[in-house]
Chain A
Amino acid sequence: MNPFLLSAPALALFGVMLVVPLIMTFILSFHSFGFYTGIEFTFGLHNYIDVLTDDYFYEIFGRTFAIALAVTVICVIIGTPMAFFLQRMRAWTRSIMVLIVLGPLLVSVVVRTLGWMILLGNNGVINSALMDMGLLTSPFRMMYTSGGIVVALAHVMVPFMVLAVWAALQRQDPATIAAAESLGARRSTIFRRVVLPQAMPGILSGSLIVFSLSASSFATPSLIGGRRVKVVATTVYDEFLNTLNWPLGAAIAIILLVAVLVIMVTWNRVVERQFAGVFQ
């Protein structure tokens, strides 16, 4: 059967419900907004100029990408070893650990973030415990800070990293480790020269997933950052549902989309060049 005929229903859905809405958002971003008149169907770059000339927005974009970068680094640092350990566990322990590591992915981000709010608050679990132990005299502020957002987002994102690295590890032939050993390599050398390089594609693709999801995340920054610590996604939300300046919100969203796409494409280019021929 013709592949396009088979794909036609899904293609129709995507045409009407994805492509058209995205184009409309793009067009919307060139319109203007009047406080009394609502959306005016003018056509110009003023929204983009507004965003790109305002330090306020630079701060928001800067914070967003800084948070995403920090989350990515943390996920690499804790997710990669976890995947290695998972690979080497006994079947029974591993199946439990898989549930613990991957299970949270299925729990709503809102619920997980609520958990972090309870943990991180000034009267929260962590601060109370530290003060009870006498390690702190006054609470250490974690709610409504970028640091708090990073911690909670790392929790939300780290399963993706573990999954990506683990998938790469499972594709390895375990005999390559035995081969390296028979050639005289010690444990650390095997890890550095045989296991890690083979896991690298997983680490790199996991990083990309974590970074792009973090940069566009909404629920966690919104609840932990509150009104004060705004990121791009929460700014777009405010423009749409509070200020009602849809054209400006659309322009911010389009900039986010373009930034994320540029980062993805560049990253993939670099990775492909690095690994040309190795992992096709």
Chain B
Amino acid sequence: MKNGAFAHIFTVLFAVFMLAPIGVVVAVSFTAEGFLEFPPSTLSLRWYWAILDNPDFIDAFIVSLKLGFVSALLATVLTVPAGLAIGRGRFRGRDALQALFLSPLTVPTVVLGISFLRFLSLFGMNGTFIGLAVCHAVIIIPFVLRLVLASVTGMDPSIEKASVSLGASPWTVFRRVTLPAITPGVVGGFVLAFITSFDELTVSIFIVNPSTTTLPVRLFSHIAQTTDPLVASVSTVAILFTVVVMLIVDRLYGLDRLLIGEGKR
């Protein structure tokens, strides 16, 4: 079936709806004035230069980058073996294990946030980078698991047997056969985990301290006080960063596949 005129109009309106808030942020960031103005009467990069005078934002950006990388790495390293076990095996407790690893998706993030706060502060770990990274790993593991599971279940189980029959040791089987077969899922999972951590606000806001403040938290606190063109320019940089990551992902893996979490198309 083809799309009719209604479908075309609907699609255009939908696209406008999706892009409007993002476009407007980008647009106002180019104002030369000291307040938010749409459309900007004169264009300038004034507020981009202003970022350089606000090391808070730059520091927060760097924290977020590091945090995204460390927590995604941690989550991936822990999830790949678990995903192999769950995706492969039929053992008692398999469903329970999977439900546990996916549970951070169902628990409201505020609840996770206060629980981490309570837990970390008992050990004086609150506000530390390590504490933050470990908490992020917990909330992003479900995303990695879904993609790893999809590629494990999409893998032909007999290719491992085939390599064993050709004389490969268990380690060789894993390195030369299993891992390459699930690599797309693992890479996809890592990227999604990175982005999720990079954008995370609700948990982080409870467990950061001034030196480990992430970019979303910094932006949130700033916006809660005042909306000036500075947050718009910082946001635009963040958007640009996401767009680049997104285009790479879309090329490598397919954005829809990454987000639906399906192994094969």
In the complex, A7→B148 CA distance in Å? 13
In this complex, which of A108, A119, A241, A254 has the most chain B Cβ atoms within 10 angstroms of its Cβ?
A108
Q: Contact check: which of A4, A95, A236 meets B110 at CB < 8 Å?
A: A236
Q: Contact check: which of B114, B202, B206, B243 meets A219 at CB < 8 Å?
A: B202
Closest approach, in angstroms, between the C-beta of B32 and any C-beta of chain A? 17
Given contacts A17-B119, A256-B111, are A110 and B255 in contact (CB under 8 A)? no
B14 and A78 contact, CB distance less than 8 A: yes
Determine if B216 is an interface residue (Cβ-Cβ < 8 Å): yes
A218 and B118 contact, CB distance less than 8 A: no
Chain A facing B: main interface SS = helix
In the complex, A168→B255 CA distance in Å? 17
Q: Which residues of B contact A17 (CB under 8 A)?
A: 116, 119, 134-135, 137-138
B232 and A114 contact, CB distance less than 8 A: yes
Given contacts A25-B115, A28-B118, A114-B232, are A218 and B201 in contact (CB under 8 A)? yes
B24 and A7 contact, CB distance less than 8 A: no
B141 and A10 contact, CB distance less than 8 A: yes
B219 and A110 contact, CB distance less than 8 A: yes
B259 and A9 contact, CB distance less than 8 A: no
Determine if B154 is an interface residue (Cβ-Cβ < 8 Å): no
Contacts from B to A (Cβ < 8 Å): 1-3, 7, 10-11, 14-15, 17-25, 28, 36, 38, 77-79, 81-82, 84-86, 88-89, 91, 93-94, 97, 100-101, 103-104, 106-112, 114-119, 122, 134-135, 137-138, 141, 195, 198-199, 201-202, 205-206, 215-216, 219-220, 223-224, 227, 231-232, 235, 238-239, 242-243, 245-246, 250, 255-256, 259-260, 262
**Minimum-distance CB pairs A-B, first 9:** A115-B21, A216-B108, A3-B85, A21-B115, A21-B119, A6-B85, A6-B81, A7-B82, A108-B199
